[in-house]
Amino acid sequence: MAIIKFYKGEMLFRLLEVLMISTSSSIVFYAVLRALGNDYENATLFAVALGIAFAIAKFFLPKLKNAAAILATGGVGVIFGISLGILPIIIMLLLLSVYDFIAVFKTKHMVKMAEVLIKNDLAFTVSASVKEGKPRFTEKGERNRIDLGTGDIVAPVMFDVSALSLSPMASLFIFIGSIVSIVLLMYFAMRKKVILPALPPITLGMLVFFILGRLLGFY
- For residue range 186-213, list pLDDT tens digits in order: 888 888 888 899 999 999 999 999 999 9
- Binned at pLDDT 50, 70 and 90, residue 102 comes out as very high
What is the structure's pLDDT at 131? 59
**pLDDT tens, position by position, 1-37:** 888 888 888 888 889 999 999 999 999 999 999 999 9
User: Collapsing DSSP states into helix, strand and coil, what is residue 127?
Assistant: strand
pLDDT value of residue 182: 93
* Cα–Cα distance, 198 to 209 (Å, whole number): 17
**CA atoms of 219 and 210, how far apart (whole Å):** 10
User: Sign (positive/negative) of CA torsion 201, 126, 116, 4?
Assistant: positive
Band (pLDDT 50/70/90 cuts) for residue 136 is very low
Helix axes 65-83, 11-35, angle to 10 degrees: 60
Task: List the one residue out of 42, 44, 40, 49 whose CA is nearest residue 22.
Answer: 49
pLDDT of residue 143: 54
* pLDDT at 219 > cutoff 80: yes
Among 25-29, 70-74, 139-143, 175-179, where is mean pLDDT lowest?
A: 139-143
Q: Is the pLDDT of residue 117 over 90?
A: no
**Widest CA span in the chain:** 56
The Cα–Cα gap between 218 and 212 comes to: 9
What is the CB neighbour count within 10 angstroms for residue 183?
11
Q: Report phi then psi at 167, rounded to 5.
A: -175, 145
Q: Which residues contact 57 (CB under 8 A, 6 or more apart)?
A: 64
Helix or strand (DSSP H, E) at 146: strand 145-149
What residues have CB less than 8 Å from 140, skipping those under 6 apart?
A: none
Amino acid at 217: G
Domain count, the chain: 1
pLDDT tens by residue, 41-94: 999 999 999 999 999 999 899 889 999 999 889 889 999 999 999 999 999 999
pLDDT of amino acid 122: 87
Average pLDDT in the chain: 88
Of 210, 82, 203, 160, which Cα lies nearest the Cα of 218? 210
Among 206, 4, 171, 2, residue whose Cα is nearest residue 92: 206
> What pLDDT does 198 receive?
93
**What range defines the domain where residue 52 resides?**
2-215
Sorted by sequence, the CB contacts under 8 Å of residue 16 that are 6+ apart come out as none
